[in-house]
Amino acid sequence: MSSPTSILIVPGWRDSGPGHWQSLWAERLPSALRVVQDDWITPTRSAWVGQLEKTVLVAPHPVVIVAHSLGCIATTHMGAQAAAKVCGALLVAPADPERRAILSDFAPVPYAPLPYRSIVVASSNDPYCPIRLAGAYARAWGSEFVRLQNAGHINIDSGQGEWPLGWALLQSLDGSGAQMDVVHAAAGL
């Protein structure tokens, strides 16, 4: 049996609303931690990464991150202390912060290997990040790369719903399948 992990949901710009696979998974894993940002609309790297690091560091077990869009980029900006507590990351539909001025504070995106196992999932027609750039991120980060055909931004607008493939990828990262020991964090942590 694998050691317990804390599942950490890291939404992207403007949060992941009802029906988004991250929100559905949070309901399925009621004890999962969810990073809650003070400002979902005008994000700053220092605030977002600080909140993410704070949430990682209070988790009682090694952390498996489940990030979407700008949450992926915030994850790659984490400092060494927080990153050392991460044992895996599912990085879905990473954003390109150079494509939108409001996200430019997150540029440049780190191009260094991540110190934990990671999987980047990207779509051939994501309007927020070209597939070639997502592939370059995966190579730079040392991540496994899963390329989806015509899955948009891998969100509710592209019809993903529960997104069973992502759930299977999460379980492959966590290593304990149904035995996941997840923890609950107070809102606004």
**Which residues in the chain come in under a pLDDT of 50?**
1, 176-189
Produce one character per residue of 4-41: b if its CB has 16 or more CB atoms within 10 Å, e if not. Answer: ebbbbbbbbbebbeeebbbbbbbeebeebbbbbbeeee
Q: Residue 31: its pLDDT value, please?
A: 81
- Tell me phi and psi for residue 184, to 5 degrees: -105, 135
Q: What is the pTM of this model?
A: 0.91
- Helix, strand, or coil here: 28? helix
Q: Residue 3: its pLDDT value, please?
A: 80
Q: What angle do CA 48, 51, 54 make, to 5 degrees?
A: 150
Q: Residue 2: its pLDDT value, please?
A: 62
Q: Residue 167: its pLDDT value, please?
A: 96
Q: Residue 88: its pLDDT value, please?
A: 98
Q: Which residue has the tokens 């191009």?
A: 111
Q: Residue 30: its pLDDT value, please?
A: 79
Burial of 74 (0-12, 13-18, 19+ CB in 10 A): buried
